[in-house]
Structure 1
Amino acid sequence: MQLVFFNNTVLAWLTALGIAVGVTLALVVIKKVVVHHLRILSERTATRLDDIAVEALEATRLLVMAVMGLYAGSTFLDLPPSVDLFAKRTAIVVGLVQAALWGNAALRGWLKQYYENRATEPGRATSAAALGFVARMVLWIVILLMILDNMGVNITTLVASLGVGGIAVALAVQNILGDLFASLSIVLDKPFVIGDFIIVDKYLGTVEYVGLKTTRIRSLSGEQLVFSNADLLKSRLQNMTRMSRRRVVFSISVTYDTPRDKLAAIPPMLTEIVKAQQEVSFDRAHFQGIGPSSMNFEVVYWVESPDYNRFMDIQQQILLQIVDGLQERGVQLAYPTQALHVHDTRPTAQDADWLGGAGDAPRGTPPSPAEGAAPRP
């Protein structure tokens, strides 16, 4: 036991080996216990975070735990500085690789959950795959740089070179990158999803596909509209699918010869007709104003449903009842009319006398009052 090998006794080597085996077994047991309890907890909860944590911890490698055990045992030995530095760097590198494996497993679990929830949305699944690829790439690049820095490599120049190269590449493909990040923004912010009916400027239709670069919409007339993701996010967008209720404003016009008492009876009639409808919240009905050829009334109400067909059914029923109500009251609906008043420029009998008078007076000169003619009004 007192024999010395590489500056350490046999007892020291056996003790270090025991520590290594003990630490490795302890890490294995801890992993199994933690994973077991987390799996039981994940079955009781609706959140997917604990399921992702289980998948990440299951990615812990036995080799990594063994290396950590060996490093723990090596700390008990009297090793040369170079060997001790090598053991320390090896442990750090293995730990960083294990951290990358945990992150990769967590991303894989998140993507699996996302695919399950978006089985009918291939566009969103594609964007999520792109997001996962970018996240994995960033993760492994960061881990690689940390490993190189741990091994004594000066990464300052490398990072600077990557930065300059990244700027050059970004400038060359800025339009593509703009659409890519716009796609990620659509995935994360969710201004719309596949199946929503949206209006973009003067275009409207149902969202069919959300890809890495474009979003495709099926218009009402049947053709497919293709929008760049970046341009789409810059536009004013109306998501009609997320409408909870619909505000309706319409006017009716009656003729000028409608008596005042009948005009006063029209707003109560409109109020009664609208309130009688189902899924409708009445707002107001007023004698709005006097137009060029009609007396105008305005009605405002809310349809408590976003369904356009339901809105049209209600509107049709209201208009038919308004027509019936006006006919019962003897009130006529107005239509655009104009009255043309023409001035009669033909000469009167008195003008004829003036124009046809005798004497020396010039033709066309009216007689003077001294001659007994009445002055022209």
Structure 2
Amino acid sequence: MAARTSAHWDDIIARCIDKTHGVFLLIISLYASASIVGAEGRAIELLYKFFVVAVFFQAALWGNEILGYGLSRYLSRRYGQTENTNFDALSTYSVINITAKFVLWTVLFLLLLDNLGVNITALVTGLGIGGIAIALAVQNILGDIFASLTIVMDKPFEVGDYIVVGDKSGTVEAVGLKTSRVRALSGEQLIFPNKMLVESEIQNFKRMQQRRVEFGFKVDYESPVEAIEKIPGVVAEIVQAQENIKFDRSHLARLGDTALEFTAVYTVLSTEYNAYMDIQQKINFAVIRALSELGASFSYPTPSVIIQNAQVAQGSKMFTKGVDRIVPDAAH
């Protein structure tokens, strides 16, 4: 019946009822019967202790079930249906589940001892001091574990995303408790401590919605002025002729020291890197062909030796399309 409704509270109640232990019901019945008939003495005291133990034990079972349901519900909402859950992230979620259950059982156990008349002050103090000592001893490991929780909860990346961290890049294969594994394009597996990933700047290319591209080229100053004036318009036509792109601009950007520098900007309406490279290759070929037809030429470094009075000058003059640099001879 609970499965046929959209509410969730009845699912929790149904699961708790299913996990209700028969021994708990038996002890409850015995204690209730003894109380009704007015039992006294040692027997009722013993039944009361059994009753307290049964109540706390059953509360722990119900708490386990509620925590498990909450975790599965969270996974379902985060990743979709349970069968499509990202199981590579479950190691971190299992730690959350185990930790929460451990805390639950510890608290209930201390409360049980307190209800049974045991002085738990010294025990709690000892647990606190022991916990601090353990935390200091394994602080690096705990730092990576908490970092893994941050990655899973905050989701700066997921399994299958292509990320760049510093000078390393690759596809995320797994997010573990202490480390995350990334498969590089060259084939090797990169292993990053989770704490380092949380503290680093991460580029996530999987979440790129579109790719903005800016490319440029240099034209010789000796090219015809008429051809230079036509280049921005020609490049704009070339870019706009491509499919799956959005043209932005094309200009003579600056008068460089050695050449005229042109830039063009467009947006590829796809995240696929190969699609971007195919488009850029077509544009490059078309620009080369167009500059050839216009009579303009690309700028490139050119060495030149200046001869004076039929003799080599004292210095060898090296220049690149307008920039002279005197290289002194080794000996005069």
- TM interval, short-chain normalised: 0.7 to 0.9
Code of the aligned partner of 1:107: L
Match of 1:192 in 2: 157
Asked whether 1:331 is paired with 2:296, we answer yes
Contact 2:252 2:261 in 1 (8 A): yes
Aligned counterparts of 2:165 and 2:9: Cα–Cα separation in 1: 36
Tell me if 1:103 matches 2:63.
Answer: yes
CA shift for structure 1 position 118: 7.1
2:171 equivalent among 200, 206, 209? 206
1:27-42 to 2 correspondences below 5 Å: 36=1, 38-42=2-6
Paired residue for 2:320? Answer: none
1:55 maps to: 15
- 1:298 and 1:54 map into 2 onto residues whose CA distance is 67
Secondary structure of 2:249's aligned partner: strand
Greater Rg by CA:
1
Taking the aligned partners of 1:81 and 1:298, their CA distance within structure 2 comes to 96
Q: Which residue of 1 aligns with 2:326?
A: none
| Structure 2 Cα separation of the partners of residues 49 and 331 of structure 1 | 76
Aligned to 1:317: 282
Contact 1:270 1:322 in 2 (8 A): yes
More displaced 10-residue stretch of structure 1: 256-265 or 80-89: 80-89
Whether contact under 8 Å (1:118, 1:125) holds in the other structure is no
> Within the alignment, does 1:220 sit opposite 2:185 as a pair?
yes
Distance 2:280 2:157 in 1: 28
Aligned length: 306
State the shift of 1:82 in Å: 9.0
Question: How big is each residue's C-alpha offset from its partner over 1:324-369, in whole Å with a ceiling of 9 and x where there is no partner?
Answer: 222222221222347777887x9xxxxxxxxxxxxxxxxxxxxxxx
For the structure 1 residues 78 and 234, does the alpha-carbon distance in structure 2 shift closer, same or farther, using more than 3 Å as the test?
A: same
Letter in 2 for 1:185: T
Q: Which residue of 2 aligns with 1:137?
A: 102
Q: Is the 8 A contact 2:240 2:246 kept in 1?
A: yes
Q: Is the 8 A contact 1:293 1:337 kept in 2?
A: no
Specify the code of the residue in structure 1 equivalent to 2:68.
R
Question: Aligned Cα RMSD in Å?
Answer: 3.3
Partner of 2:125: 160
TM-score where L is the length of structure 2: 0.79
Moved more, 106-115 or 326-335: 106-115
Local SS of the residue matching 1:198: strand
Note closer, same or farther for the CA distance 1:78–1:196 as it changes in structure 2 (3 Å cut). Answer: same
Structure holding more strand per residue:
2
- The partner residue of 1:125 within 90, 107, 110 is 90
- Correspondence 1:1-377 to 2 at 5 A: 36=1, 38-42=2-6, 51=11, 54-65=14-25, 93-109=53-69, 114=75, 117=82, 121-337=86-302
**Unmatched tracts of structure 2, length 5 or more:** 312-332
2:4 maps to a residue whose letter is: I
* Structure 1 letter corresponding to 2:63: G
User: Which amino acid is the alignment partner of residue 18 of structure 2?
Assistant: E
Please give the alpha-carbon distance, in whole angstroms, between the structure 2 residues aligned to 1:273 and 1:265.
12
Identity among equivalent positions (%) equals: 42
- 1:352 match: none
Q: Which segments of 5 or more consecutive residues in structure 1 lack a partner in the other structure?
A: 1-35, 347-377
Contact 1:39–1:54 (Cα < 8 Å) also in 2: no
Q: Distance in 2 between matches of 1:260 and 1:73?
A: 108
Q: Give the aligned residue type for 1:266.
A: I
Q: Residues 76, 152 of structure 1: CA spacing in aligned structure 2 closer, same or farther, 3 A cutoff? A: same
Q: Residue 171 of structure 2 aligns to which amino acid in structure 1?
A: T
1:93–1:150 CA contact under 8 A, matched in 2 = no
Relative to structure 2, which stretch is displaced further, 255-264 or 288-297? 255-264
Give 1:276 deviation, angstroms. 2.2
Q: Distance in 1 between matches of 2:174 and 2:3?
A: 36
User: 2-side partners of 1:52 and 1:240: how far apart?
Assistant: 40
2:10 and 2:283 map into 1 onto residues whose CA distance is 55
Whether contact under 8 Å (1:183, 1:211) holds in the other structure is: yes
| 1:134-155 deviation per Cα after TM superposition (whole angstroms, max 9, x unaligned) | 1111111111112122223232
Q: 1:306-333 deviations in whole A, cap 9, x for unaligned?
A: 1100110111111122222222222212
